[in-house]
Structure 1
Amino acid sequence: MVGVIICTHGSSAPEILKSAEMICGKQENCLTVNFENGESLDQLKKELVQEIDQLRGIIICLTDLKGGTPFNTLVGLLKKYPEIEIITGVNIPMLLELFINRDQLEKEQLLSAIIEAGKSGVYRYQRIKSSIQDDEF
């Protein structure tokens, strides 16, 4: 099973996981790492290494912000862990796509599907103006 690590600023990683699990059920082989205010880069790196070492095979790491500390720390770990994949901009549609298809799709198809789900999950609702005036009822 494809492993998943969600690493974000603050405590949003476990909370977004909880939200996704409300929809698609409890997930195995999925870990979260928080980067807390005041935490050192070395501590974050140590936590990420511990979590990566718990997982085997393909590991998809989702972060909140390109160029942020969680993202940059994972990029720095690629030399030691070339099997990890890093995707930024984590949102619930991405997680649902990943959880539903992580054992169904090949790695490259899965990565593309995750990114597409994340993009298509961003939507602005616009009210359609009615051609009938309220006072016509």
Structure 2
Amino acid sequence: MIPILVITHGESASKLVETAEMITGKQDECQTVKFVMGESLDKLKDDIVDHINKFENTSDMLCLADLKGGTPFNVLVELTKKYPKMDIITGVNVPMLMETFIQRTIGISKENLIRKAIDAGHKGIYRYEHVLSKKDDEEF
């Protein structure tokens, strides 16, 4: 199973995973890391490495971050020197996590998992537009 690390500014990583697990079930090989205001880069890097070391297989993991160019993302990019097979996707959201959790249990390749995760993340963004029917219009 492909290990998943979710890292965000603040508490949202654990909350996103908790929300996705409500639908997909408890996940193995999934860790979360939070970056808090005022935290040093060295502390964040140490926290990430500590969580990575909890995985059974650290050679082929997928990291989901909240923001391209943010501190968590930048530290992950730096860590690709130590973990060259680590992949990073930004813009993590609940649909992306759900798809990742579901697909990785069926033995999908990491490349396909990444494609499906990104696609689910994009499709999870939606604007609902209410169209007034004639009946709705008459009620006003």
Shorter-chain TM-score range: over 0.9
Q: 1:110-121 alignment to 2 at 5 Å?
A: 110-121=113-124
- 3-state SS in 2 of match to 1:72: helix
In structure 2, give the amino acid aligned to 1:78.
T
Q: Shift in Å at residue 21 of structure 1?
A: 0.7
In structure 2, give the amino acid aligned to 1:129.
L
C-alpha separation between the residues in 2 aligned to 1:17 and 1:107?
19
Worse-matched range after superposition: 52-61 or 39-48: 52-61
Tell me the TM-score normalized by structure 1.
Answer: 0.94
In structure 1, give the amino acid aligned to 2:72.
P
In structure 1, give the amino acid aligned to 2:121.
G
- Following TM superposition, where does structure 1 have runs of at least 4 consecutive aligned residues deviating by more than 3 angstroms? none
Q: Aligned residue for 2:97?
A: 95
Q: Does 1:32 align with 2:35?
A: no
Q: Aligned residue for 2:129?
A: 126
Q: Shift in Å at residue 131 of structure 1?
A: 3.1
Map Cα deviations across residues 65-99 of structure 1 (whole Å, 9 max, x no partner).
Answer: 00000000000000110121100000000000000
In structure 1, give the amino acid aligned to 2:52.
I
Q: Shift in Å at residue 38 of structure 1?
A: 0.8
In structure 2, give the amino acid aligned to 1:81.
Y
- 3-state SS in 1 of match to 2:134: coil
In structure 1, give the amino acid aligned to 2:60.
I
Q: Shift in Å at residue 42 of structure 1?
A: 0.2
In structure 2, give the amino acid aligned to 1:124.
R
C-alpha separation between the residues in 2 aligned to 1:52 and 1:8?
15
C-alpha separation between the residues in 1 aligned to 2:94 and 2:65?
12
C-alpha separation between the residues in 1 aligned to 2:60 and 2:124?
24
Q: Aligned residue for 1:61?
A: 63
RMSD, aligned CA? 1.4
C-alpha separation between the residues in 2 aligned to 1:125 and 1:3?
34
Q: Identical aligned pairs, as a percentage?
A: 50
| Structure 1 unmatched runs, 5+ | none
